Structure formats: structure tokens, C-alpha cells
């Protein structure tokens, strides 16, 4: 892949809301873009009690490599007594999570506002949806 390939460019922005780090992911999370994202999420989950919200609403595509990155970030956050939430309004993404047995693993939110609450919320992923 050439260094000028747009997929190799960073596909995320970060901001802090209180003590929560919000990472907005854009474009595709695939075998080409996952390594840089994985490195950044590893850094963000390095300390004790990481508090992350990953906003996936502008993500057009995610492959199994990207799902693996999300799983590792979640596992690192939980191992450090932190929290990782995903914001998605994509029926397709929720269907993928169900298909691979991860529907109940992630804390999913339909909007950034609900994800930014300090109290963990169980967000149901309807079995019949999508």
C-alpha cells in the first residue's frame, strides 16, 4: 500500500468531555486502518480506570480485524477497572455483533448523550431487529 493511500491516514478524532475520552471513528476500520487505531486505543487504555466512548456513527465499514481491535480495547479497559462504550445507530453493525456472539459483550448506545452518562446502562440489542 502506498503512503498516499487515504485508508492509511488516521480515521479518528479525539476530545475530552469531563473525564471521558470520546473517540470518533470515521470511514473504514479494516486490516489497513486497524493497526494505527489499535495503537491509539492501547495508549488510551494504558492507565488505571480508562473511560472511553468510541463513536462509530461515521464508520462506513468494519471488518473482523476492526472488531478484534474493539474487543481488545474493551478487554484492556475492563482489566484496568475502566469502561468502554460504543455509540452506534447502525442496525447492520448490531447484526454483525449478534452474528459473532458479541451482542451482549459491548455497552452499546444509540447516541453520544446516552453514552456520556456516568452510570453504566444495559442497552438491549433486540434479537429480532435487522
Q: Is residue 1 part of a domain?
A: no
Side-chain-side CA neighbours of 49 within 13 Å: the count stands at 3
User: Mean pLDDT over residues 39-48, rounded?
Assistant: 96
Q: Is residue 50 part of a domain?
A: yes
What separation in angstroms does the CA of 12 have from each of 43, 54, 100?
Answer: 14, 10, 25
Question: What pLDDT shows up at residue 8?
Answer: 44
> pLDDT for 19-32, tens place per residue?
999 999 999 999 99
Q: How many domains does the chain have?
A: 1
Q: Which residue would you say has higher pLDDT here, 101 or 9? A: 101
Domain holding 80, by residue range, is 6-115
Q: Is residue 125 part of a domain?
A: no
User: Mean pLDDT over residues 106-123, rounded?
Assistant: 82
Question: What pLDDT shows up at residue 128?
Answer: 40
Query: pTM score > 0.85 for this model?
Result: no
C-alpha cell at 27: 470511514
pLDDT band, very low/low/confident/very high, at 83 (cuts 50, 70, 90): very high
Q: How many CB atoms are located within 10 Å of the residue 86 CB? A: 23
Task: Collect all residues with Cβ–Cβ distance below 8 Å to 11 and sequence separation of at least 6.
Answer: 25, 26, 27, 28, 29, 33, 37
Q: Is residue 14 part of a domain?
A: yes
Q: Is residue 15 part of a domain?
A: yes
Residue 93: give its domain's CATH number.
3.30.750.24
Q: Of the candidates 101, 116, 91, which has an alpha carbon nearest to the alpha carbon of residue 64?
A: 101
Amino acid at each position: 500500500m502506498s503512503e498516499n493511500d487515504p485508508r492509511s491516514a488516521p480515521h479518528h478524532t479525539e476530545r475530552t468531555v469531563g473525564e471521558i475520552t470520546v473517540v470518533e471513528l470515521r470511514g473504514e476500520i479494516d486490516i489497513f486502518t486497524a493497526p494505527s487505531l489499535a495503537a491509539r486505543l492501547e495508549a488510551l487504555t494504558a492507565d488505571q480506570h480508562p473511560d472511553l466512548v468510541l463513536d462509530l456513527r461515521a464508520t462506513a465499514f468494519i471488518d473482523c480485524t476492526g472488531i478484534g481491535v474493539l474487543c481488545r480495547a474493551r478487554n484492556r479497559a475492563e482489566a484496568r477497572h475502566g469502561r468502554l462504550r460504543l455509540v452506534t445507530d447502525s442496525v447492520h453493525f448490531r447484526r454483525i455483533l449478534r452474528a459473532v456472539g458479541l451482542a451482549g459483550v459491548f455497552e452499546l448506545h444509540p447516541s453520544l448523550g446516552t453514552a456520556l452518562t456516568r452510570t453504566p446502562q444495559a442497552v438491549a440489542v433486540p434479537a429480532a431487529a435487522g
